[in-house]
Amino acid sequence: MSESGKKQGFWSKLFGTPPAEEKSDAPEALDARRQAGQDAEPSHEQEGHDPRDAAPPEMQAEWVKAGHPNPPEQEPPVPGDIWNPLDQPQEVRDKQEHGPEVTAGVEPVVEKKGWFARLSEGLKRSSDNLSNSIGAIFTKKRLDEDTLLDLEDTLIAADLGIDTATSIVEALRAEKVDKDVAPDEVRAILAREVENVLGPVATPLVIDQTKKPFVILMVGVNGSGKTTTIGKLSAKYRAEGKSVLLAAGDTFRAAAVEQLQVWGERTGVEVLTRPTGADASGLAFDAVQKGQDEGTDIVIIDTAGRLQNRTELMDELEKIIRVIKKRDPDAPHATLLTLDATTGQNALNQVEIFGQKAGVTGLVMTKLDGTARGGILVAIARKFGLPIHFIGVGEAVEDLEPFAAGEFARAISGADREH
């Protein structure tokens, strides 16, 4: 059950009904074997209805004050297991250091697409590849084994994982072999199977109010969206009337501390800091203690971005957790791993190693509004079964959504679009 049903006030006003289905011209086949050099770029997206437009003017002014940038134009990083966030272009890394620009004064609210439209656009590359390949494969009316094998290859190439690919092919074989089948029926089966995998892990992050404070530790590789997600979460929890304390645990970089302080100012939340180079675990300890002393509802601890294969940095993360436990043996009550949706296969390894070292309890997939490679979330769900709490669909404070399996499945399969 998504958290959206329970949302009140500010938050419930933010997230309206998803916009009507998106249409796109279906280009020809994209499958590598069929490409023949004709890789289709996503076509220009239609403007979606933005539920935020219906919000009161003072709220819109607040968003403008908080900076309301358009999604960044970022090229996807190098694909697969050689992906390294530190390889991103300097301007992207600069932006990561300083966060999105804050617009001074009140300007007209920028026309912004609804979150579902941004999710669909972000997943358009994955979705187009899948959907168009399905269109190209299912040219014969009758379903045969060769066609099923081609489909399996396509699903694996879309990062969905071998297990999911096999189960989709099995479902199709059971229902349709030797029968007439149209591409749209295959897309619908794909959407259904993806939803079956994602449904059980689409669970809200429940804040146990008996824990004072409820401690959330945010972990992930460099630039995966930890600090931005913390900013969005603190806005959400403040809007729910909860008290929040942030701890700027990336003590390596002054810019990271500043970035969290900007989010603290935007959301009216205190940020605990230490000088650059200070021990991050000491800061985490102090933050939990301060939260206990002051009866704070939620303490969110940021950590420095680290590649999962850097043993010494992962050891430091373990130390932070050990030290937090000295103040509260049950804490952290949630350890959230942020995954950049443009990462691809490397995300599987991130979940595995951060899971082992930091005891990750849930996932947030960020940048699903960009050039996302969303299929990997299905492989991750299948392999690890970890809760997926939220998705990030933009850089602004309101661009955090509870994860909804059905919407994600429809967006990635292209089942809602006309072909």
Residues of each annotated binding site for GTP: 220-227, 302-306, 366-369
The one segment of 95-103, 188-196, 286-294, 312-320 that binds ligand GTP by CB under 6 A? 95-103
Name which position in 126, 127, 131, 222 contacts ligand GTP (CB under 6 A). Answer: 222
- Is 305 a residue that touches ligand GTP (CB under 6 A)? yes
Q: Is residue 284 involved in binding ligand GTP (CB under 6 A)? A: no
DSSP label at 219?
Answer: E
Does residue 362 bind ligand GTP (CB under 6 A)? no
Options 125, 176, 187, 226; binder of ligand GTP; rule CB under 6 A:
226
Question: How far apart, in whole angstroms, are the C-alpha atoms of residue 95 and residue 74?
Answer: 11
Query: Is residue 251 a contact point for ligand GTP (CB under 6 A)?
Result: no
CB 110 within 8 A of CB 61: no
Q: Judged by CB under 6 A, which of 88, 120, 308, 366 binds ligand GTP?
A: 366
Pick from 3, 121, 193, 395 the residue near ligand GTP by CB under 6 A.
395
Helix (H, G, I), strand (E, B) or coil at 366: strand
DSSP track, 34-69: HHTT-PPPPPPPPPPP-GGGGS-HHHHHHHHHT--P
CB nearer to ligand GTP: pick between 411 and 415: 411
The size of the interface with ligand GTP (CB under 6 A), counted in residues, is 28
Confirm if 231 and 69 have CB atoms less than 8 A apart: no
Spatial distance between the Cα atoms of 231 and 361, rounded to a whole number of angstroms = 19
Q: What part of residues 10-69 is at the interface with ligand GTP (CB under 6 A)?
A: none
d(CA 29, CA 33): 9
Q: Do 357 and 314 contact (CB within 8 A), yes or no?
A: yes
Our finding on whether 350 is near ligand GTP (CB under 6 A) is no
In the complex, least distance from residue 121 CB atom to ligand GTP, rounded to whole angstroms: 11
Q: Going by C-beta distance under 8 Å and a sequence separation of 6 or more, which residues neighbour residue 243?
A: 294, 295, 296, 297, 298
How many CB atoms lie under 10 A from the CB of residue 67? 17
- Collapse the DSSP code of 333 into the 3-class scheme (helix H, G, I; strand E, B; otherwise coil) and give the result: coil
Using CB atoms, what's the residue nearest to ligand GTP? 305
CB 319 within 8 A of CB 263: no
Q: Given the complex with ligand GTP, which of 288 and 365 has the nearer CB atom?
A: 365
Question: Residue from 120, 224, 343, 371 that binds ligand GTP (CB under 6 A)?
Answer: 224
- Residue 183 in contact with ligand GTP, rule: CB under 6 A: no
Q: How far is the CB of 9 from ligand GTP (least distance, A)?
A: 23
**342 near ligand GTP, judged by CB under 6 A:** no
Nearest distance, CB of residue 29 and ligand GTP, angstroms: 29
Under rule CB under 6 A, residue 375 binds ligand GTP: no
Nearest to 2 by CA among 404, 410, 413: 404
Neighbours of 292 (CB within 10 A): 16
Place of tokens 């979150």: 115
Interface contacts to ligand GTP, rule CB under 6 A: 71-72, 95-96, 99-100, 220, 222-228, 250, 256, 259, 305, 338, 366-367, 369-370, 392-395, 399
